[in-house]
Amino acid sequence: MMVDERHSDEADMVEMSYAEAIRSALDIALTTDERVILMGEDIGVYGGAFQVTGDLIHKHGEDRVIDTPISELGGAGVAVGAALTGLRPVFEFQFSDFAMLAMEQICNQAAKLRYMLGGAVSVPLVMRFPAGSGTGAAAQHSQSLEAWLAHVPGLKVIQPATPYDAKGMLLAAIEDPDPVMIFEHKILYKSKGMVPTGYYTVPLDKSEVRREGSDVTIVASSLMVHKSLEAAQQLSDQGISAEVIDLKSIRPIDKDTILDSVRKTSRLVCVYEGVKTLGIGAEISAMVAESDAFDFLDAPILRLGGAETPMPYNPDLERAAVPQIDDIVQNVSQLVKGER
């Protein structure tokens, strides 16, 4: 993994949860940069809807950790304005679904102002979106909307899959002069990994090969990275060698890493939780089809995405609505064996 050697020593690492890694990044940013402020509903004394901001308000004060009224549109608008004045706001939505209420500020203001003013201003804004299914929160609180925002020029959209990347990419996002949208899968908040205690950054435009293989490339993001790695382990028992790429960023997409892998394996499977139609996998599939890597393919490109349905509340139906490990194993096996 890539670490900014100017700031951190990888030897100084401790185990942190995904949520703790985010909190560590926010704490460091607040401590080292007076321009950084946190904004969002219930992020102060309550500690955030998923307890990610914790007790930061007690350490940094209510002028730096700001509880906003229950108006996503209003809060997002204040965050955009604050960024235009030179602050570096980090705005937390309670659920990614609530971003729909703020799309005007995100897509028409934050994304476009630098362009419309000829580069005279920048919008150094970070927005955090707890996303995804698995908590039984039903149709209006369990969506994966990252492809919506990735459609908008001017926004960077990332999906860290590990505590290490959650901290390093958040710190990089706070440094960035442009709006960065971070989708954090709710199921990942309790996952753990080794994380440097100090300051470091992870690039916002690079994917990572999490597992090398020779028979098929699996491109995944967020929670689906972990499911794909488990599936790859099971596929190895069948003699199938799967390469797993952690996309990390969906705007921009690290095209070279994906194409190099497809040229090597000659097969491509895209795994993502968002609804299959017009999702991330469609963009990756088109990207490969429009490149010379298409000539290396020995099988059709396969997309495993979310079902064409609002997210069910029933836990069995909820699991059936998004790709699971068994789905990945079965579909990849059939693809490699020529059964699809």
Residues with a catalytic annotation lie at: 72, 141
Nearest C-alpha neighbor of 226 from the set 296, 333, 323: 323
DSSP 294: G
Distance CA 84, CA 178 (A): 11
Distances (CA, A) of 98 to 145, 258, 305: 10, 32, 22
- Which residue type, as a one-letter code, is found at position 318? E
CB neighbours (10 Å) of residue 330?
A: 15
Which residues have a Cβ under 8 Å from the Cβ of 199 and sit 6 or more positions away?
4, 7, 8, 28, 32, 171
Report whether the peptide linkage leading into residue 252 is cis, meaning its omega lies within 30 degrees of zero: yes
Query: H-type helices in 238-299, by residue range?
Result: 255-265, 280-289
Which residues have a Cβ under 8 Å from the Cβ of 104 and sit 6 or more positions away?
73
